[in-house]
Amino acid sequence: MIWAERLAAFSHPVAAICLTVFGGPAAYAFAMLHGAGNGILTIAKGTLPLALFGAAGYGARLGWLNAPARVLQAAAPLLFGAALASWGPSAIWLTAGVGLLATGALLLLRQR
């Protein structure tokens, strides 16, 4: 199941590259890749901890793992808005970089 999480994390950087390389005509590809990654991520966020750590204490572990993500998710619009105001369209590279970091971290994980 870890491959799905890796795919989800990598889909946004690929979408960002398509958008910046091909411009407006690639907006549909960006939307589809980004949306598919988000859809996979929704399912994988619940199943990855189960696959990595097992069922014992699953609910508590999921809560601890998701708490920082929820805080960052709440701050994301403000942070991305500030990045857009400062860097303009180049702010997409910030989100692509975060996606690449997430992909790299997931590549370091090993499923038991």
pLDDT digits (tens, 9 = 90+) for 54-88: 889 898 988 898 899 899 889 999 999 999 999 99
Q: Which two tokens stand for residue 46?
A: 């619940």
Q: Which range, of 14-23, 46-55, 66-75, 87-96, averages the lowest pLDDT?
A: 46-55
| Stronger pLDDT, 111 or 19, i.e. the higher one | 19
Q: Say whether pLDDT at 31 is over 90.
A: yes
pLDDT of residue 86: 96
pLDDT of residue 112: 60
Where residue 3 falls among pLDDT bands split at 50, 70, 90? confident
Residue 55: C-alpha distances to residues 42, 49, 52, 79, 89 (Å) = 19, 9, 9, 35, 43
Cα(47)–Cα(81) distance, integer angstroms? 31
Percent of the chain with pLDDT over 70: 97
Q: Which domain holds residue 38?
A: 2-108
Domain count for the chain:
1
| Stronger pLDDT, 93 or 47, i.e. the higher one | 93
Cα(37)–Cα(95) distance, integer angstroms? 13
